[in-house]
Homo-oligomer: A and B are copies of this chain.
Amino acid sequence: MKKDTKISNAVIKRLPRYRRYLKELQKKGVDKISSNEFSSLIGYTASQIRQDLNNFGGFGQQGYGYNVEGLYNEISAILGLDKEYKMIIVGAGNLGQAIANYTYYYKAGFVVCGIFDINPRLIGLKINDIEVMDYENIVEYVEENQINIGIICTTKDSAQEVADKLCFAGVSGLWNFAPVDLEVPDHVAIENVHLSDSLHSLAYHMNRNATENE
């Protein structure tokens, strides 16, 4: 795998999608695909597909195309999905509980180990078999259990404080569902899921569609 040049985020954001389509192809028993065939399936240009993949190595073979299973495995490895990740959720409100219950991603190696909250009424509860613990003890827990990812499901007002504490405790990634932009040290990765931003963008496009023939 090449490591010399910095790969743009636009490319990274496309990798999980390539991987999803490759999984489907695998399920259908397809074992090779050309960039042209892949293009008409996934909706990126063949040129873009080849460019994207060549950021990481020459996975194809001239005159043949790409091996579906091989490429799937390569992309999984590039994304780091051959590892296991230990996660905790901060905030046991509706959103936090939802994520605790939403086990879709488990199989891909992301395990929710615990949930933290400050509300004494929630502490001790089990959600999807995961214990709700006291936020007081979060630093200790992260250190002792080598937690990799913190999932922030708090209100926007406490999100930064929680982020600071998690970074201090040693997580290397934050998955942020609070509707704020968080400051984190350079060595911590952050991914935001701004649900309301997404809904607002949907609203924009709905209105544009409605008025575009005026």
Contact = CB atoms under 8 A, between A and B. Distances in A.
A202 interface: yes
Given A81-B203, A181-B17, A193 B195 contact: yes
A204 interface: yes
B104 A195 contact: yes
Contacts of A187: 209
A117 to B, nearest CB: 16
A172 interface: yes
The interface residues of chain A, by DSSP majority, are classed as helix
Interface stretch (A60-68, A92-100, A138-146, A160-168): A92-100
A85 interface: yes
Given A20-B180, A81-B203, A108-B199, 11 more contacts: A3-B211, A12-B205, A15-B200, A16-B200, A43-B181, A98-B99, A102-B195, A173-B206, A175-B198, A189-B202, A189-B209
Interface of A: 3, 12-13, 15-17, 19-20, 43, 78-81, 83, 85, 94-95, 97-99, 101-105, 108, 110, 148-149, 172-173, 175, 179-181, 186-191, 193-211, 214
12 contacts: A12-B201, A13-B201, A15-B200, A43-B181, A79-B204, A85-B203, A104-B179, A108-B196, A172-B209, A190-B202, A191-B198, A193-B195
